[in-house]
A and B are shown apart, each in its own frame.
Chain A
Amino acid sequence: MTALLQILFDALSLGSLYALAAIGIALIFGVMRLVNFAHGDYISFCVFALLWPSIEATAFVFAGQLPPYLLIPVILTVGACLSMLSEILVFRRFRNANPATMMIASFALGFVIKYTLLMLFSSRPKSIDLWPSLSLPVEIFDARIPLLQVITIVITIVILIALVAFLKRTRFGLEMRAAAENFTMARMLGVRANAVILLAFAISGMLAASIGLILVTQTGTVDIQMGSSVMLVAFIATVIGGLGSLPGAVVAGFLIGGVSVLMQVILPFDIRPFRDAFVYGAVIAVLIWRPNGLFMPRSAKQRV
Chain B
Amino acid sequence: MTLLTIDAITVNYGRLIALRNASLTLSQGETLFITGPNGAGKSTLLKAIAGVVVPKAGTIRFAGLEIGGWAPEDIARRGFSMVPEGRHVFGSLTIEENLRLGVGMRVDKDAAERDLEHIYSVFPMLEERRHQAAGVLSGGQQQMLVIGRALMANPQLIAIDEPSLGLAPKVIDDVYAVLLKLRDTRGLTLLIVEQSSARATMTGGRMLLLRGGEIVLEGDARELTRSDALKAAYFGYGEQH
Contacts and interface: CB of A to CB of B under 8 A. Distances in A.
A174 B76 contact: no
Contacts of B77: 190
B149 interface: yes
Contacts of B92: 177, 181, 297-298
Given A185-B88, A188-B52, A178 B101 contact: yes
Contacts of A191: 73, 101, 104
A1 B150 CA distance: 59
B76 A190 contact: yes
Contact of A192 (B73, B88, B97): B73
Interface in B113-155: 135, 149-150, 153
Contacts of B82: 188
A258 B132 CA distance: 34
Nearest to B152: A189
Interface in B60-99: 71-73, 76-77, 81-82, 84, 86, 88, 90-93, 97
A175 B76 CA distance: 15
B188 interface: no
A186 interface: yes
Interface residues of A, number: 21
B73 A174 contact: no
Interface string A177-219: 1100110111111111100000000000000000000000000
A171 interface: yes
Contacts of A302: 88, 91
Interface string B32-50: 0000000000000000001
Contacts of A174: 93, 97, 100-101
B171 interface: no
B73 A190 contact: yes
Given A174-B93, A175-B104, A193 B73 contact: yes
Contacts of B81: 188-189
Interface string A69-99: 0000000000000000000000000000000
B50 A181 contact: no
Nearest to A184: B52
A304 interface: yes
A187 B102 CA distance: 10
Nearest to B50: A188
Nearest to B149: A189
Nearest to A245: B92
A167 B81 CA distance: 25
B105 interface: yes
Given A178-B90, A189-B153, A190-B153, A184 B101 contact: no
B70 to A, nearest CB: 11
A207 B149 CA distance: 34
A199 to B, nearest CB: 14
Given A177-B93, A181-B90, A190 B52 contact: no
A97 to B, nearest CB: 16
A177 B101 CA distance: 10
Chain B CB within 10 A, most for which of A177, A178, A182, A188: A188
10 contacts: A178-B97, A185-B88, A185-B90, A188-B81, A189-B101, A189-B102, A190-B73, A193-B73, A298-B135, A304-B52
Given A185-B84, A188-B76, A189-B149, 19 more contacts: A171-B104, A177-B92, A177-B93, A181-B90, A182-B88, A182-B90, A185-B90, A186-B90, A187-B73, A188-B52, A189-B81, A189-B101, A189-B153, A190-B73, A191-B73, A191-B104, A192-B73, A298-B91, A304-B52
